Amino acid sequence: MMETIQHMVIFDLIHAVESPLTDKFLKDGLTILSQIPGVKNFQVYNQISPKNDFTYGFSMNFDHAADFESYNSHPAHVSFVQDRWMKEVARFQEIDFKSLIVR
């Protein structure tokens, strides 16, 4: 049985909502992070629920825990976090789910 992991992070940026810097951060995140081996179905989201006050989200799936661990230590991910995330993200919440029931 595959142990699918869904990794999500919801966040706010230091940039204005519709600024070119925001657009660049979101597009760069998609381009850089989705190319890391093991990443599946990378998505970029804009929050629409009044029940949550974060503005953006990244979501991706991994087929195995080892793929997720490899992603976390991959040089492209580490570099993105150090060079972009730590400087441009105002706050965030990370959510990681392992599938329990598979159809």
Q: What is the mean pLDDT of residues 51-57?
A: 96
| Residues 85 and 10 sit within 8 Å (Cβ to Cβ) | no
Q: How confident is the model at residue 20 (pLDDT cuts 50, 70, 90)?
A: very high
**Confidence at residue 2, expressed as pLDDT on a 0 to 100 scale:** 64
For the cut 80, the answer to whether the pLDDT of residue 25 exceeds it is yes
Q: What is the pLDDT of residue 102?
A: 65
pLDDT tens track for 27-40: 999 999 999 999 99
Q: Rounded to the nearest 5°, which phi and psi values hold at 86?
A: -65, -25
The residue ranges of every structural domain in the chain are: 15-92
pLDDT value at residue 1 = 54
Which helix (H) or strand (E) is 95 found in, with range?
strand 89-98
Matching CATH number, 15-92, of 3.90.1150.10, 3.30.70.100, 3.30.1330.30, 3.40.109.10: 3.30.70.100
Instruction: For residue 99, name the pLDDT band (cuts at 50, 70, 90).
Output: confident
Is residue 90 over pLDDT 60? yes
How far separated are the first and last CA of the chain, in Å rounded? 11
